[in-house]
Amino acid sequence: MNFLRSLPHLILQGFRALARFAWNAFSLVMVLSFAATIPIVQFASLGYMLECSARIASGLPIRSCFPGIALAGHIVRCGLWTLLTWLPIWFVTDLGYSSELIQPESNAALSLRITARILAILWVLWVVWAILRGGRWFHFLWPQPIRFSKTIFTRSFWLDAENRWWEFLKELHLWRLIRLGFQASLGAGIWLAIPALMILLSLNAAPEVNASQQGGLALLGLLGAILMAWVIQYLPTLQSYMAWNALMARQGLAKPEATKERLGGILKRSAARETFRRVPLRFALANILFLALALPLYLLRIESIPAELWFLLSIFFVVLMFPAKLLIGWVLRCSFRKTKDAHWTLRWLAWTCLLAAIAIYVGFLYLGKFALWEGGAILLLQHAFLPPVPFYLR
């Protein structure tokens, strides 16, 4: 009977937890998408996704694999209430501009413009005060003017505001994530540079050489494609492995030789080979899904768009590439639990399927050279291994 009485309460708690998780997940996607459109900060977006992948690889509980997800929910919630409280000021401002158009230099238009500016100043104080009090919904609805007038001129108020600001920045771990994302992007550039240059040289030089030299350029392009396929089968795993190395080093669990690996281990091909040998089927499945999720995003890069719309497209990039990187972390987690290599028949079967998927992906890269607005740069600027922003070149 006690269980039956508490059942509705448990169901309600379950719905509340599910709604909270859905909101925090949505907010995390929004924050990562917005960060991906800001120069330099966009590396933090990639760094966060690799950090989550590394935490999954390390075997941490799932609730610990998404650090700061509750903070992202709080940030978006504050942003939403800030936008809602701005709507009345926007309405008054719009009335002022409309009055100016209808009756230029009239007293009514001047009064509305002055009112809008005064309200905007008060709105800034209102929003800052609400955030400093905790940023809850009721803080935005009622500013508590008496309490505000008593505390705004006190020294403790400004010291508390400064401490909260620095605690907020510290909780973001922005510099560490930027460095991790930049390191992953640099490593990807090193891996992709040679095959991309070989393919570009064969494609760009073909119209300008004699027919007798076309065979050599075709061979160069073929070698570039083979090398590109060779790189792509390792690179997703190596990026997550590099993030895992960094995580282990912070926790003091990394081996001494691991901390000395170049670029955090992203150039250590043997780490990816060892992962494949231990869990070949899971390795192939995760990497095939990784490439499959990356392919639709090339359609969004066919034509250049205004920078104001980058945020909307970045949402699609985060939604598709984030789960792909989490899958790679799952493969590493499974690999670390194995001590023996899988049977050679499983390895050959998995490698054959993976190679077919990589061949399709490389074929899309060839087509992208002619179809995407970035041209040949697409061979190097592959969003699967870089920050989740649609366009890197203006």
Same domain, 261 and 375: yes
pLDDT 10s digits, 86-104: 888 888 888 877 777 777 7
Q: What is the pLDDT of residue 265?
A: 82
Domain-located, residue 33: no
Alpha-carbon gap, residue 246 to 243, rounded angstroms:
5
Q: What is the pLDDT of residue 392?
A: 53
Alpha-carbon gap, residue 93 to 116, rounded angstroms:
5
Same domain, 316 and 354: yes
**Domain span at residue 152?**
68-172
Domain-located, residue 116: yes
Domain-located, residue 44: no
Residue ending a domain, choose from 120, 137, 172: 172
Q: Which residues contact 80 (CB under 8 A, 6 or more apart)?
A: none
Residues 59-98 as b or e (16 or more Cβ within 10 Å = b): eeeeeebbbbbebbbbbbbbeebbeebbeebeebbebbee
Domain-located, residue 50: no
Same domain, 154 and 186: no
- The arithmetic mean of pLDDT across residues 2-19, rounded, is 73
Same domain, 90 and 135: yes
Same domain, 150 and 185: no
Count of domains for the chain: 2
Domain-located, residue 41: no
Alpha-carbon gap, residue 17 to 13, rounded angstroms:
6
pLDDT 10s digits, 189-200: 999 999 989 888
**pLDDT over 70 (residue 207):** no
Identify the residue with better confidence: 280 or 249: 280
- Token pair 């499974």 is found at 334
Residue ending a domain, choose from 120, 153, 172: 172
Are the C-beta atoms of residues 54 and 326 closer than 8 Å to each other?
no
Same domain, 142 and 234: no
Residue ending a domain, choose from 117, 139, 172: 172
Q: How far is CA 190 from CA 47, 172, 194, 254, in A?
A: 18, 28, 8, 24
Same domain, 224 and 305: yes
- The arithmetic mean of pLDDT across residues 47-58, rounded, is 94
Same domain, 206 and 101: no
Tokens of 332: 């590493």
Domain-located, residue 387: no
Same domain, 292 and 309: yes
Same domain, 251 and 116: no
Domain-located, residue 117: yes
Give the angle 223-225-230 at the CA atoms, nearest 5°. 95
Domain-located, residue 12: no
Alpha-carbon gap, residue 361 to 116, rounded angstroms:
54
Tell me the pLDDT band of 394, cut-offs 50, 70 and 90: very low
Burial class of residue 175, CB neighbours in 10 A (0-12, 13-18, 19+): exposed
**pLDDT over 70 (residue 208):** no
Return mean pLDDT, the chain: 84
Alpha-carbon gap, residue 357 to 43, rounded angstroms:
28
Alpha-carbon gap, residue 358 to 233, rounded angstroms:
7
Same domain, 269 and 370: yes
Same domain, 241 and 353: yes
Torsion on CA atoms 388, 389, 390, 394, rounded to nearest 10: -150
